[in-house]
Each structure stands twice: as C-alpha cells, then as structure tokens.
Structure 1
Amino acid sequence: MKKDNINIVLLKKDLRLQDNQVLYEAICSKDRTLLLYTIENNSSAGFNHSKRQIDFIKESLLNLNNILKLYNTKILIVQSEATKAISILQQFWNIKRIYFHKDYDAPFLTQQYRMLYRFCKNNLIQKIEIDPYKDLCFDKNNIEFNTYFNTKSIPFIPTKDSFITLQKVQDLEKFFSTVELTVNKNSFILKGGPSSAQNNLSNLSRLDKNQINIQELIYKLSPFISWGNISLRQVWQYLSEETDQIVSLEKFLHTIRWNIHYIQHNEFLKYSNKIDTYKKSNNNLPSQNAWEKGMTGYPIIDAIMRCLQKNGNINYKMRMLTVLFYKQYLLLPWSDAVEFLSKNLLDSSPGIQFNYFETLNKNNAQNKRRILFNIIKHSKDIDPKGFFIRNHIPELRNIPNEFIYKPHKMIITIQKFHQTIIGKDYPKPIVRNIINDKIQLYNLENYLNLTKN
C-alpha cells in the first residue's frame, strides 16, 4: 500500500504560529504537515534544562495546542530523540521534507541536529533549515537589517488540508512516550506561550510613553523572545505602531542588533569544539553553594541570586555583576557561574552568554591595572534606595539605609535594636575583601594565577 507524503515541522525555540517562516513554508507545500516537538532524555555537555525552563516550554506548547484546536490539529510532543521519533513516523507516512529553524545553541544543548542531518541524507529526506539571521549583521547601516524589521510579519493562514488531523495525532501518541503538559502554577514566574507574550507586550506598551524604559522592557520580554513565543520583528512592529518614542525605538533596535551580533559571533567561534573547557572544575565548594543560594553576606549579590531563584529572570547588569563577583571575589572559574545561569534563567541562551562573558573576562585580564570592582558602588547604582534588597532578603527589611549595603558594619547594639543579628539571621561576608569601604588592590600576577581557567 502506497504511503501518503507528509512534511514535518520540527519545533524547538520557535514556539509560535505567527511570523514562523518554517511553518509558513510547510503550509505552502502541497503535502500535509505534522508539527513535532521532541524532549530528549539527556543533553550533551551537561546543559540540561531546569524544571523552571521545562515548565515554561510546557506552558508554551499547551498554549499552542489550544490555539491549534481551531484548525483540527495539535503538536505531537514526545519524549525521544528527533531521529528515533521520525523513524517511527516513517512507518505510517512517506516523509518528504523536514523543516526547522537553525538553532545557534545546538552545539551546547544537544547533538540531535547533527544526527538529524545524517538521518535525512541516509533516508533521502529533504532537509529545509532556515536561518532567520542569515542576511543580517551588526552594521547599523545594513539595508537588509532594516528591510527585515520593516517587512510585514509572516501570517499564519492554514487551510483545512494543511495539517495532520487531531484524531490521527492522538492515535500516534499511543506509539510514543508522551509528556504531561500540566505544571504547578507559580504567580512569580512568567507563564509561557504566544498569548502570554502578547499580553505582556501589550501591558508594557501601555506604560507612560514618556517614561518607556527599553532595557527594562527587553529584559521582561526576553524569555518569550528566547523561546520564540514572539519574534523580534513582532515586538519591533508592535512598538512602532503603539508608541511615537523614536529615540526609545532606536535603542530597542540597537539592542536587537547586539543580540544578533552575539548569536552570529558564537557561530563563528564554533564553541562546540571547546565544550570540554567548560565542564565543572570544582566540587560543590561552600562558597559556590552560598552564591547559588543567595547567602554570601553581600546583600546585592544575595538579592540578585534569590530573585533569580524566585522569578527565573534578572536583568543584564545584574548578570554581569554576579558573574564578576563569582570570579573576582570567590576566585572560581567564570564558566561555572554562566553554566548555572544558563540552567536557571528563563531566557537561557548558553551560546550568547558564554561568548559575552568570555569576551568580558578577556578584556579584564588584558587590563593590567584592573582592580576588584566596588560592590558598594554597584549596589547603589542598581538599587539606590535598597528596595530591591529588602524585597528579596526579608532578613534585612528593618535595616536602616546607611547599613543596607553593608549590614556586617553594624555594631551589635544596632543589630539587636533592629532584630537582625549578622551571622545568625543573615550571614557574614564569606570573603573579606572590603577594607574601609574601599576595594583592596590585589597583586595582579597572583590574582591571574588563582583565577586562570
């Protein structure tokens, strides 16, 4: 019996229907399309997703399936490697094409794409990989860049024959190890999905247009952008229609350019050949555990880490600060800190993060007059009135402003008066590098030898 021809759209970090080029290309073909999402049991190089990230993915997939019910289909979500899942599907259909977006984090997260390339070649399946950033570069005068963002986003307009029917997909699930999409609700963490992304974008755009903070807007939307719930082009075009703040929009576009620059630079550096250098080099050191739990005794660092554990997202300045603290104060390899962040941030993009922090690390090492950064100064810059610290460290809520950045400087009488004993209610600093509120100058050669990766 002759098998029917079908296409497969392999979803990964493009969990949306609108402005999805691979989905549009598949719909335009004459064959029906099956939407497939695979969750692998293990990832290479130890970069497994955290529970928070997996929950965000599940919420995104659940939101997509609710929308796809209107088109009498759903995403086939299986616990399997992509090649194994496609091998099973070959028993039912003749797979003509496999569509997917280029994943710049693939060398870090999984080997499935390399296996997929060989599988398509051996089984005479047409592999259609689309790189959305192929013709874009960082040059601010680049014509292609501006054309891309001003071109109308790709619509989602399927016909009744575009997809494998809902009933057939449900029948297929009997042959796979499927995934339960229900998650525990947490009011502090963003809910994944295109609908949630659009709602958050709408809420942010309703703020006072004269006080739009583009950096704040980008960091709040970054989890949705990272997992493809909404495209950069959709964000740009929505803001262009909703606001007349041209300066703010230019700042947004500038940040997008930097994002794409780091993505492309990561691909150029071929980090997949250097993965062994990023494996953990310590054995659960007490200082590392204190850093991860937000118990270092440095309020701004602890508040940042507790915020990360609570919300799954911190802004870019906070990420830089906590990684520099990990390296310069704890004298631990910066790569371990970035690995922890990559596992816990909702907008995780290991390729971009490793590239950015390695560049930052090299710049610091090349500056021979570099001294340790001043935590007190950065604390005041990030949290001028101590609201952020008090919000995430309840032990310090009663501390007066003059001691909120350095509670260990309080004499015991003041500690008892404010019912916060340092060393009991809140830890003492795990390293003592602050002398008279100034940063002690380290011998550069010894410092570089200790922190050499």
Structure 2
Amino acid sequence: MNTNKKTINVVWFKRDLRLQDNEAIFNAIRTNTPTLLLFVFEKSLENDSHYSARHWNFIKQSIVDLNLQLKQYNTKILAVSSEMLQVLNILEETYTIDTVFSHQETGLKITYERDKTFKRFCKNNQINWVQNINNGIFRGLKDRSNWVAGWENYMNEPLLDFNPKQGQFLSIDAITELENVLEKTNLETVADQVFQKGGTTMGGKYLKTFLDDRYHQYSYNISKPLLARKSCSRLSPYISWGNLSTRQVLQKTATFRLTCTDKKQIDSFVSRLTWQAHFIQKFEMEEIMEFESVNKGFHTLNKKPNENHIEAWKKGLTGFPLVDASMRCLNETGYLNFRMRAMLVSFFTHNLWQPWQEATQHLSQMFLDFEPGIHFPQLQMQAGETGINMLRIYNPIKNSYEHDPDGEFIKKWVPELANIPRAFIHEPYKMTYLDQKFSDFEIGITYPKPIVNMERTRKFASDFLWKMKKDPLVKAEGLRILKLHTMADIGDNSE
C-alpha cells in the first residue's frame, strides 16, 4: 500500500472539450495542486442507443486537438475506456484525489443517474466535487422569471483565460504510467471529409469564416437545404461538444457587430443562440421530456408504430423527394439545416402518424451536433405535443418548390431522380407513362411511390391535434408550461 501518495485534482471533461473559457480547468489551476486532465469514454454511454461512432470520432478529434495545445505544458488528456468510478478507484491506488472539477451536464437520464452515483462516491471517499454552470444553464430553478437576466449576465462575464504555470499538470510520463494500468483509448480516426472535424482549432476556423464572409446570406438561406450548408454558421457541433463556449461565440460576435456591414444578419444569428439556451434550460427543468410529452394531456395520444413506415423514413425511401434527400443527406454527413430537420419530424409524426419516441434514437445518432437539451424539446414541439406552440405541419412538397426550386439538393442526394424533367423533380409520381419511358424511369421501381397520401394525412393530423388542444388537461398543462418557461423578452424563434 502506498502511504506517501501524491495529492492531485482531476478535471473531468464531458461536453466542454476546450481549454479557454473552461471554468473547471480555471478553478483547478487556481488551487496550485497538480491536476490531471481526464476524459472517460464511458462504455455505458458508448452502448447507449442515442450515440454513434460519429460522435465518438468527433470527441477523439477534439482531444487530439487539445493534446497538441497541451504539449507545451508537458501534459495531455488521459483518455481511457471504462466507467468514471472504476477510473477513480484505480487512480486512488496511486494518488490522493482532493477535488474533481467538472461542469453540470444537462444530458440523458443515464448521465444524470451516473452523476448522482458519482456524487455519493465522492462523499463516501472524501473527495470534493465542484461543478460549474455550463453555458448559462442553471440547475434547480423553480421558474424562468429571472432566467434571461441571469443568462445575459453570465454571457457578459469576462472569458476565463487558460494561462497555467509549468508543472501545474501531471506530466506526460506520469500519464503514460496511468495508461499502463487503465484501458487507453485509441484516438486515431479515419480521415473523412464528409463529417465536420472536431476540435477547438476547427471550430475557430468555422467561426472566423462565418464572420468574415458567410454571415451575409445567413437569414436569406437559412431555410434552403443546399445553400444553408454554407450560409449557416455550422458551429452547432462545436458548441454542443464544448469546443467553443456559447460565451466565446457571443462575445466574439458582439465585438464583430460593432463594425460589421450587416447587423441584421448578426442579430438573427445571436437570437438563435439565445433560443438554443432556452431549450436546454427547459430540458434541464423537465427531464421527463426524454421519454414523455412535456404536456401530460398528450400522454393519451396512442400512435401505433408502423415498422415499414419507420424504416422507409430512416432510409430516405418515402417517395417524397425532399424528405428523402434530407434524410439521406443527414445520414451521410451528420448535418441538416433547421427547417429540414423540423420537416423530417413533422412528416414522421403527422403524415406517418408515428410517435416521436420512435424517431429520437435514429436522429440523435445521425445528428453530429446531438444535444439532448435541444433534441427532445424540438422533437416534441415539431410533433405538436407541447400544447403551447403553434401547430406546424410542414408540407414537404411546398417546401421543395420554395427552398429547392431547381431540385439541386434533391438530385444530389436522390440520384435516381437526377435525370427526370425539372417539372417533376418535386412530384415524380405525377409523371405519365410516356414521361417515365422517355426518362428511363419507373415510379415504384426506380424510385418509391409515396407511402402515404399527403393531403389526407395532413388533414387527419391537423384535425386530430387541434381537437386535442381543446382538451381541459392539455389546456391546463399548457398554462403550467407557459408559467414555468415563457420569457416574453427574447422574441420569437419562428423562421
């Protein structure tokens, strides 16, 4: 037994994969106790059906990027595959752990339960656990009456510098010794140009190119599936995984706004960052949203899963070109603009009349920027099951004509439609027999027939949900939700 163990602190990285403006690191450095930087690829999370390899690869790329920055301090992040409690038990064989620093994670039930278990472990082992606020999301709020002011105050606080002294972190040699007794994670990833690459360095480049040029068309192209890929900031994965803090992005943007030539575009972008925080705070206060509708009045909505419909939707084989192009694009690249995401959920829950719970895991696996606090509130809002939001049943045909008029996005992602006449690109099922022959195309063979009747299913869903909105419990729950969450001073987030 080692009776002369060295005392250390641990910074437990989760969704805060950055050095600058990282309060956990900042607090650890101030103690002047040697600090171990740690990321645990928790096997329980890797096996959770909300995650996929694209997430873990993004995290690995982020850690590699951090290690390059940490090299000058003769340290690196200890990246291991295990569970947090197992790692700490092994660490305590060599070191005395004084304090673990981390942020409060607004995550899935599995991470919340893990944190509660970890808290008990720390108490039983006389380890301090200091958790800091993450991106202005506050735990334990009873209502949202002062949330906007608190969030804005947090966002206006000075950024926390990363300026350690030499020797404040465990050395690379010491970490190598720990890697020998733990299951070291292989951080190599396959070079892939399809997904956005993880890391603070890459996140900074996206922010720079957005403010340098791309922002000019932000609000004009935000709903267009092809053009949005360039005109939107594309910062969501870097914020979701913490390569950049929301505060860093907002303060950089605020400084840029002082001299920029198109303040309207910047204001639109900032508004969406505010709404992002709003939804995460909502999920923090209503964690049941992971499993059930936030409005209890909709718990009686008994939709029956149809496996054929679900599989066609997942694979982009519904017979509706914009729906299929959007899903295939998401499956392939991990990115889709907001309107097309909303349309996919609307089509699934309204036209296919499927429970939103059946969509959650596929979408979370595909979204490179999967953020639980955005994911579940948005699913329920687009499914029309909040009782407070405007019921929006997106028409994929109308959206196709409006936002992909020449069918460029459709042709890129549904290549079997690439050679049909432009007049039919949005509704290929309207082609006559001769039209199909001339185009070497056969509806139902080359490309699926529509799996549902669009007008009939839209009317059914609309009539059914509007009727439910009049239900006394739905109304009562709507009032409860409004009282708890509504903030009149941050405007509307509609497109």
Q: TM-score, normalised by structure 1?
A: 0.88
Alpha-carbon offset, residue 41 of structure 1: 1.5
Partner of 1:51 in structure 2? 53
Unmatched segments (≥5 aa) in structure 1: none
Partner of 1:114 in structure 2? 116
Higher alpha-carbon deviation: 31-40 or 383-392: 383-392
Give distance in 2, aligned partners of 1:392 and 1:275.
33
Please tell me whether the aligned partners of residues 49 and 365 of structure 2 are also in contact (alpha carbons under 8 angstroms).
yes
Partner of 2:404 in structure 1? 383
Instruction: Show CA shifts across 1:352-382 (max 9, x none).
Output: 22123224434587899x7964321122233
Please tell me whether the aligned partners of residues 43 and 110 of structure 1 are also in contact (alpha carbons under 8 angstroms).
no
Percent identity between the aligned chains?
A: 33
Please tell me whether the aligned partners of residues 108 and 272 of structure 1 are also in contact (alpha carbons under 8 angstroms).
no
Root-mean-square deviation (Å)? 3.1
Q: Which amino acid aligns with 2:264?
A: V
Give distance in 1, aligned partners of 2:56 and 2:319.
31
Which residue, 240, 265, 285 being the options, matches 2:254?
240
Aligned pairs for 1:40-439 within 5 A = 40-43=42-45, 46-109=48-111, 111-132=113-134, 133-134=136-137, 142-207=148-213, 210-213=216-219, 216=228, 220-243=234-257, 244=260, 245-271=262-288, 274=291, 285-362=307-384, 373-434=394-455
Partner of 1:20 in structure 2? 22
Give distance in 1, aligned partners of 2:87 and 2:40.
8
Instruction: Show CA shifts across 1:76-116 (max 9, x none).
Output: 11111111101110111110000000100142556321221
Give distance in 2, aligned partners of 1:153 and 1:147.
12
Q: Which amino acid aligns with 1:75?
A: I
Alpha-carbon offset, residue 444 of structure 1: 3.9
Alpha-carbon offset, residue 42 of structure 1: 2.1
Give distance in 2, aligned partners of 1:257 and 1:140.
14
Q: Which amino acid aligns with 2:343?
A: L
Q: Which amino acid aligns with 1:11?
A: F
Which residue, 33, 36, 57 being the options, matches 2:38?
36
Please tell me whether the aligned partners of residues 67 and 76 of structure 2 are also in contact (alpha carbons under 8 angstroms).
yes
Alpha-carbon offset, residue 333 of structure 1: 0.8
Give distance in 1, aligned partners of 2:16 and 2:157.
19
Please tell me whether the aligned partners of residues 307 and 314 of structure 1 are also in contact (alpha carbons under 8 angstroms).
yes
Alpha-carbon offset, residue 126 of structure 1: 0.7
Alpha-carbon offset, residue 74 of structure 1: 0.7
Please tell me whether the aligned partners of residues 83 and 112 of structure 1 are also in contact (alpha carbons under 8 angstroms).
no
Q: 1:15 to 1:429 in 2, by over 3 A?
A: same
Give distance in 2, aligned partners of 1:155 and 1:388.
43
Give distance in 1, aligned partners of 2:389 and 2:65.
49
Instruction: Show CA shifts across 1:1-20 (max 9, x none).
Output: 32221100000100011111
Alpha-carbon offset, residue 272 of structure 1: 7.7
Q: Secondary structure at the match of 2:15?
A: coil
Q: Secondary structure at the match of 1:341?
A: helix
Q: Secondary structure at the match of 1:39?
A: strand
Higher alpha-carbon deviation: 290-299 or 104-113: 104-113
Instruction: Show CA shifts across 1:413-445 (max 9, x none).
Output: 11222223222221111223347xx96556945
Give distance in 1, aligned partners of 2:150 and 2:353.
44
Please tell me whether the aligned partners of residues 323 and 338 of structure 1 are also in contact (alpha carbons under 8 angstroms).
no
- Aligned length in residues: 443
Q: Which amino acid aligns with 1:257?
A: T
Please tell me whether the aligned partners of residues 57 and 189 of structure 2 are also in contact (alpha carbons under 8 angstroms).
yes
Give distance in 2, aligned partners of 1:20 and 1:36.
14
Q: Which amino acid aligns with 1:236?
A: L
Q: Which amino acid aligns with 1:16?
A: R
Q: Which amino acid aligns with 1:238?
A: K
Q: 1:284 to 1:434 in 2, by over 3 A?
A: closer
Please tell me whether the aligned partners of residues 42 and 81 of structure 2 are also in contact (alpha carbons under 8 angstroms).
yes
Alpha-carbon offset, residue 400 of structure 1: 2.3
Unmatched segments (≥5 aa) in structure 2: 223-227, 294-298, 469-495
Q: Which amino acid aligns with 1:155?
A: D
Alpha-carbon offset, residue 152 of structure 1: 3.1
Give distance in 2, aligned partners of 1:63 and 1:9.
17
Give distance in 1, aligned partners of 2:454 and 2:266.
41
Please tell me whether the aligned partners of residues 282 and 373 of structure 2 are also in contact (alpha carbons under 8 angstroms).
no
Please tell me whether the aligned partners of residues 339 and 350 of structure 1 are also in contact (alpha carbons under 8 angstroms).
no
Q: TM-score, normalised by structure 2?
A: 0.81
Higher alpha-carbon deviation: 11-20 or 236-245: 236-245
Q: Secondary structure at the match of 2:100?
A: strand
Instruction: Show CA shifts across 1:369-422 (max 9, x none).
Output: x79643211222332332211111111112222211110110121122222322
Partner of 2:492 in structure 1? none
Give distance in 2, aligned partners of 1:269 and 1:431.
34
Q: Which amino acid aligns with 2:201?
A: S
Give distance in 2, aligned partners of 1:327 and 1:119.
42
Q: 1:40 to 1:374 in 2, by over 3 A?
A: same
Instruction: Show CA shifts across 1:196-228 (max 9, x none).
Output: 111111122221664344955656110111000
Q: Secondary structure at the match of 1:42?
A: helix
Q: 1:331 to 1:363 in 2, by over 3 A?
A: closer
Q: Which amino acid aligns with 1:99?
A: F
